[in-house]
Amino acid sequence: MAEPLKVGLAGLGTVGSAVIRLLDQGRDKLVARCGRPIEVVALTARSRTKKRDFELKKFRWFDNPVTLARDPSIDVLVEVIGGEGDPAKRAIETALNAGKPVVTANKALLARHGQKLAALAERHGVALNFEAAVAGGIPIVKTLREGLNGAAFTRIYGILNGTCNYILTRMEQDRLAFDDCLKEAQRLGYAEADPTFDVEGHDTAQKLAILASLAFGTKIDPDAVYVEGISSITLADLDAAAELGYRVKLLGVAVKTQAGIEQRVHPTMVPKDSAIAQVMGVTNAVTVDAEGLAPITLVGPGAGGAATASAIVADLADIARGVVTPPFGRPTARMTAIRKAPMQHHEGGYYIRLLARDRPGTAATIARRLAQQKISLESIVQRHAAGSRGAAQPGRSGEAVPVIMITYATSEDAVHKALAAVRRDRVVSGRPQVIRLERA
Ligand code: HSE
């Protein structure tokens, strides 16, 4: 039999342990598919003494990932340490400089340094594969990089964070509080070490920056992504969405506009009957729109050890076969600088929830401010204050009642100006809730 591909594994958390398991269980299948076995021969992790569900002594142990990366006993480095800096970065650079291919699940590192690392891999003629970095077990990197080489992409959007989708699903279905759902996602191993990365949208933003680069051939720029998380979403928003025919999802959207590439992450109202609205729990989904091609949607597990390990093993299989693809689908010299479309020019529909003072003239004031910005309403609902339904008299002066509106397409700028004016008019209390709509 041909020589095995010898793997050095850096990181033994949920994902690293799942890679060991999957390579062990899938050994024969991989030999059949790649013509050679893929074997983990050496390991490194923060703790050597931690209890593991495999025998550590079967592998060579390294205290330092950088030493592992350059060791002649390994052919390829798998990096699942995480984090955008060292030691992950130095370990990857060391492996590439030593002419060894690298497989990584590290979206933070790729979003920040992907361009340079791709150039380094290119210089040494080796693979830098990162299927696991975006949408867990969904092969979206390969789809964009190889499967759709003939396509002219116009928009990529999706649910790219399992933790957020899990939280929104549990809140809606089980009427649970945000914090309880987050704790459960952490317990199940979906969340990042610092879960604010998930819930504030940064994890999605890093993944989106990578997808945008693959789709549009632009240099990766995580700072070009507009980011809003889900921590302000309440059950009231989820209920209102349902009533108006929508569902709330945290989406990452990269779209080609006249002003440049718009990259944004925010809670989004999607039509309740759309494919993306059906995606529940930790499941991820990515839809690709391209000229002359009906939309393609990939749906699958987005987080957790098994899903991520599946993507890592697929990347290793390519390396075992000797496949080297440019990391971002084209030589790095052909990746162009991104022309960032400013968010205030974003156009689309909006959901707005206000707490309006229940007194004569309030609705007229709000309507006037919207009209001044040429904002047209698709629907408007005002809730009665508790106990005032059917009363002969209008609501008690100053009492706050929710007013929920869905606008037709307008601009971000217009919505902000209209709401700022409404707040100055003192007809609402608190901050208005604004959620963008997306055609899906
Ligand atoms: N924390 C991430 C998620 C893990 O919830 O999707 C996969 O990147």
Q: What is the pLDDT of residue 20?
A: 97
From 190, 282, 308, mutation site for ligand 1 pocket: most ligand atoms within 8 A of C-beta: 190
Q: What is the pLDDT of residue 190?
A: 86
Q: Find out whether the beta carbon of 289 lies less than 6 Å from any atom of ligand 1.
A: no
pTM for the whole structure: 0.94
Could you tell me whether strands 246-257 and 260-271 are parallel, antiparallel, or unpaired per DSSP bridges? antiparallel
CA of 197 to the centre of ligand 1 (A): 9
Output the CA torsion 103→205→108→178 (10° steps): -110
Please, what are the domains in the chain?
5-137+309-334 (3.40.50.720), 140-300 (3.30.360.10), 344-437 (3.30.70.260)
User: What is the greatest pairwise CA distance in the chain?
Assistant: 88
Q: Find out whether the beta carbon of 204 lies less than 6 Å from any atom of ligand 1.
A: no
Per-residue model confidence as pLDDT tens digits over 332-353: 999 999 899 999 999 999 999 9
CA of 191 to the centre of ligand 1 (A): 6
Q: What is the pLDDT of residue 354?
A: 94
Which ligand 1 atom sits closest to the C-alpha of 160?
Answer: 6
Residue 85 CB-density burial (10 A; 0-12 exposed, 13-18 middle, 19+ buried): exposed
CA of 187 to the centre of ligand 1 (A): 13
Q: What is the pLDDT of residue 132?
A: 98
User: In whole angstroms, what is the distance from residue 363 CA to residue 361 CA?
Assistant: 6
From 203, 250, 283, mutation site for ligand 1 pocket: most ligand atoms within 8 A of C-beta: 203
List per-block mean pLDDT (blocks of 10 residues) for the chain, which spans 440 residues.
94 95 96 97 94 91 98 98 96 98 98 97 98 96 96 98 96 93 90 91 98 97 96 93 95 96 98 96 96 96 92 98 97 94 95 92 94 96 65 60 95 97 94 96
Secondary structure (3-state) at 291 = coil
User: In whole angstroms, what is the distance from residue 335 CA to residue 225 CA?
Assistant: 18
From 131, 138, 163, 196, mutation site for ligand 1 pocket: most ligand atoms within 8 A of C-beta: 163
Q: What is the pLDDT of residue 193?
A: 81
Which ligand 1 atom sits closest to the C-alpha of 161?
Answer: 6
Cα–Cα nearest to 8, from 79, 64, 56: 79
Calculate the alpha carbon distances from 433 to 225, 236, 261, 298 in Å.
21, 11, 26, 31
